[in-house]
Amino acid sequence: MDLLVEVTEPLIPEEALYRKLRTVARIQKALEDRKVDLVVTVSRGPEPPILRWIQERARL
C-alpha cells in the first residue's frame, strides 16, 4: 500500500524520521503486517495538477 501524507510545516529531519517510522509501524500493525510505503511532503501552495489527478483517482 502506498500512502502520501502532506504536512503544512517541515520538521527537523530526526523528528520527521521518528514520526514516519512510528506511523508506518502503527499502520502495518493495524493492517496485519501488510507492507506500507509512506511518502511525506510539505505543502507549498497550490496543488500541482498531477497531485490533483492522483487524489481524484486514489482509493481510500
pLDDT for the residue 18: 92
User: Residue 59's pLDDT band (boundaries 50, 70, 90)?
Assistant: low
CA geometry: angle 11, 12, 13, nearest 5 deg: 110
pLDDT digits (tens, 9 = 90+) for 25-55: 999 999 998 888 888 888 777 777 777 787 7
Please count the structural domains in the chain: 1
CB neighbour class for 45 (10 Å; exposed up to 12, middle 13-18, buried from 19): exposed
Is the model's pLDDT at 24 over the cut of 80? yes
Q: What is the pTM of this model?
A: 0.62
C-alpha–C-alpha distance, residues 29 and 18, integer Å = 17
Question: In which domain, by residue range, is 51 found?
Answer: 2-57
